[in-house]
Structure 1
Amino acid sequence: MLQARTICATVALAGVVLAAGAVPAAAATAAPARAAVTCPTGWGSGAKSDSDSTATPLSDIRTGRHDCFDRMVVDVPGAASGDLGYSVRYVDRLYQDGSGRHIPVAGGAVLEVRVAAPSYAPETGEPTYPARAGHPLPGVNLTGYRTFRDARFAGSFEGETQVGLGVRARLPFRVLELPGRLVVDVAHTWTAGG
Structure 2
Amino acid sequence: MGTRTGIRRTLCSLLALALTPALVGTGAGRAASAPERAAPATPVLVAVRAAHRGDVDRVVFEFRGGLPADREVDYVDRLFADGSGRRVHVAGQALLQVRFERAQAHTDDGRPTDAPRRVAFPLPNVLTAVRAGDFEAVTTYGIGLAKRTPVRVTTLQSPPRVVVEVGAGFATVSRKVWFLDRDRFVDNQEPFFVPVRRLVRPGTPASGLLDRLFAGPLPRERARGLRLLRSGATGYDDLTVSGGTADLRLTGRCRSGGSTVTVAGEVLPTLKQLATVDRVVLRDAAGGTLDPDGTGDSTPACLEP
TM-score (norm 2): 0.39
Looking at structure 2, the residues matched to 130 and 111 of structure 1 have their Cα atoms a distance apart, in angstroms, of 18
Is 2:182 aligned against 1:184?
A: no
Candidates 49, 60, 66, aligned match of 1:79: 66
One-letter amino acid of the structure 2 residue matched with residue 170 of structure 1: R
Looking at structure 2, the residues matched to 77 and 175 of structure 1 have their Cα atoms a distance apart, in angstroms, of 19
Is 2:139 aligned against 1:161?
A: yes
Candidates 101, 105, 121, aligned match of 1:142: 121
Looking at structure 2, the residues matched to 177 and 54 of structure 1 have their Cα atoms a distance apart, in angstroms, of 19
Structure 1 residues 19-63: Cα deviation after superposition (integer angstroms, max 9, x where no partner): xxxxxxxxxxxxxxxxxxxxxxxxxxxxxxxxxx96021111111
Looking at structure 2, the residues matched to 162 and 128 of structure 1 have their Cα atoms a distance apart, in angstroms, of 15
Looking at structure 2, the residues matched to 112 and 188 of structure 1 have their Cα atoms a distance apart, in angstroms, of 18
Which structure: greater helix fraction?
2
One-letter amino acid of the structure 2 residue matched with residue 149 of structure 1: L
Looking at structure 2, the residues matched to 90 and 54 of structure 1 have their Cα atoms a distance apart, in angstroms, of 30
Candidates 101, 105, 128, aligned match of 2:90: 105
Q: How much does 1:189 deviate? A: 4.5
CA contact (8 A) 2:76 2:96 kept: yes
Q: Which runs of 4+ in 1 moved over 3 A?
A: 129-132
Which structure: greater strand fraction?
2
CA contact (8 A) 2:42 2:65 kept: no
The corresponding residue for 1:4 is none
**Uncovered stretches (5+) of structure 2, i.e. residues with no partner:** 1-39, 171-305
Counting aligned pairs with the same residue, the percent is 36
- CA spacing shift, 1:184–1:130, aligned 2, 3 Å: closer
Task: With a CA cutoff of 8 Å and minimum separation of 6, indicate the structure with the bigger relative contact order.
Answer: 1
1:25-36 alignment runs, 5 A limit: none
Q: Paired residues, what number?
A: 128
Looking at structure 1, the residues matched to 166 and 69 of structure 2 have their Cα atoms a distance apart, in angstroms, of 19
Looking at structure 2, the residues matched to 168 and 131 of structure 1 have their Cα atoms a distance apart, in angstroms, of 21
The corresponding residue for 2:56 is 69
